[in-house]
Chain A
């Protein structure tokens, strides 16, 4: 990379959700605007939303690795086998009360997680707000309440957790959740409140249980390493200054803020019931979740990953 004057350049940033999704305001635009401002628009970031540069979330990592896009947003949960270590952060009870998900991810990045991001440079790593139960007609207060209920899950870990709680995990494409909740094919699902609007779940769900340990969802924003290396020192600096912990924090706060807004709107609608589990009710879930987590960490040999995340 040459210092001094840099020729104008454009980076392609690709994601697979709509331009109204929270990722835009929380991560994509802070990066784009920060970089463009710092370089006086010489380094431009052009955003391709909604899978314009290739459909679907599962190919996001190959896409950035092969340079179809220079920067991508992705969910490790769509290809969990690649992110076995990183996804430890998604487990129920993994994040202590006094820590943030992004802190944990960056704590463990250099020593533990780096190998899961070959050929790319993560610009942000963060997690969503806590997952909750989003149900139709069914009140969830205790693990026993899940008995015989069909719960849609997106990944293997959540499937195993729901199984441990006594529910029946069901797998289906995201586009089918709405119909399935409406017809009663599923009784509910587990995800973050921020996703309620994305899939219009508020139209068909009416009971929300908040507080049970159901884990979080992890996200990354990653840049092609070769592309980064090819940039001038000035441009690299602009990217560095506007990414990392700072951008990760913005992502996590953005998700949490969206989740709070959504829950507020849900509470204000009289048709909905929002159940805030009390400490005793949460403890009943926690007993199962703690065993579940210990057993899984031991099975997968990922105890040291969690320790590194917690800075222990």
Chain B
């Protein structure tokens, strides 16, 4: 049996296990472990199980996950999330889908202080989902907005995705960061337009609130001040070099605890509850990430990425045909693989193809990161969807996937726009860097 065939069977087995309701992390573990055993040896599989588990669990950058979820939990326990959404409701509650739009804009803002889509979706999900529920927004719309909005975390700088792409392909991190800004804003606006459209077609998804007076708006904003100040301090601290985006997670959590305690909204009991619930959510998320890293060596040993690359090079379908096929490959692989693991596995193979065809590597980087974002919300292994599920356990996964669908289509449209108008990507890096 060829290695590629083993790889393909592994992917089929993964699909079958997922359909059979085996928990996602376990299913990926079993396939990764089994595949490595078949293609290499049981010893290798066991050794990788230990080393990947410990490496991911002790990754200094992933600590943002427990820290940001703690910040979200504390903000909720201390009533700050509630005040934030009261304010949003007073300001734009009467606009169709206003709260969901505000959430997506909030996600874009959060993306400016956080380089990870997972952490963005976790924190924003924790803060926003129960609030949108309070205002009778449909779970499909609210979870879809957060899962999709959260992916902006890697398009809007700082971005772990761009850093990994830059290092793998020897491109400029600065140019990539700049290149992500306009597409990030564009995608955020497209999401807002989509939400308004959905809410207009089906008002029951997002009941509009009453018109509010100027005074009510003012009071709403005043109530939301603590959390807004925390967010501004955190962003300010990053851009003035006082702390790094990773440390910002701890600073944000620390400030939230401080404000909560100072306003006497946080008791020792509610603090402990928030912290304890943070670690179980962390366990859910990290177990999926660890499992995803077991799939990477399996696919590398199967030589599937290499076979895909050879296949693409042999095709005679013109540069844009190859580009579209490569993006399609990312979409398909993104259904199963964790985004960054996928970059590591495929970039050495696809990138030379792209540069030989004469495409701009910065522009391609943005397209790739956008497809990675789509992978984060594509079934069956849509990490951001699982993230949202972990903070909204009562919403069935199928509803979240359904809710995400329209956003997924909008992202396809966004990719189309960037291919037709590459200047959206290249304008900022070309004008701001030599």
Contacts and interface: CB of A to CB of B under 8 A. Distances in A.
Interface of A: 18-20, 48-56, 58-59, 62-63, 66-68, 172-173, 175-176, 178-180, 182-185, 197-200, 203-204
Contact of A203 (B52, B172, B242): B172
B49 to A, nearest CB: 10
Given A50-B348, A52-B300, A66-B43, A20 B244 contact: no
A68 B166 CA distance: 27
B272 interface: no
Interface stretch (B55-63, B144-152, B262-270): B55-63
Contacts, number: 107
A238 to B, nearest CB: 23
A114 B422 CA distance: 56
Contacts of A203: 172-174
Contact of B246 (A62, A176, A200): A176
Interface of A is mostly: loop
A152 to B, nearest CB: 11
Nearest to A183: B241
Interface of B: 40-41, 43-44, 47-48, 51-52, 54-56, 59-61, 158, 160, 163-164, 166-174, 238-246, 293, 296-297, 300-301, 341, 344-345, 347-348
A105 B319 CA distance: 50
Contact of B51 (A20, A50, A59, A172): A59
Instruction: Give the 5 A-B CB pairs with smallest separation, nearest first.
Output: A184-B241, A183-B241, A52-B300, A66-B47, A59-B51
Nearest to A150: B241
A62 B55 CA distance: 12
B250 to A, nearest CB: 14
Most buried by A among B48, B169, B300: B300
A265 to B, nearest CB: 13
Contacts of A58: 55
Contacts of B59: 56
Most buried by A among B55, B169, B241: B241
A122 B289 CA distance: 33
Contact of B47 (A20, A68, A183, A199): A68
A242 B238 CA distance: 49
Interface of B is mostly: helix
A177 to B, nearest CB: 10
22 contacts: A18-B168, A18-B170, A18-B347, A18-B348, A50-B168, A50-B347, A50-B348, A52-B297, A52-B344, A54-B51, A54-B297, A55-B55, A55-B296, A59-B54, A67-B44, A175-B160, A176-B245, A178-B163, A182-B174, A183-B238, A184-B241, A203-B174
Nearest to B294: A54
A173 B61 contact: yes
B141 to A, nearest CB: 34
Contact of A49 (B44, B170, B348): B348
Nearest to B299: A52
Given A18-B167, A176-B246, A203-B174, A184 B51 contact: no
B245 A62 contact: no
B300 A53 contact: yes
A183 B174 contact: no
A50 B158 CA distance: 22
A207 B423 CA distance: 33
Contacts of A20: 169-170
Given A52-B344, A198-B167, A185 B244 contact: yes
A176 B244 contact: yes
Contacts of B170: 18, 20, 197
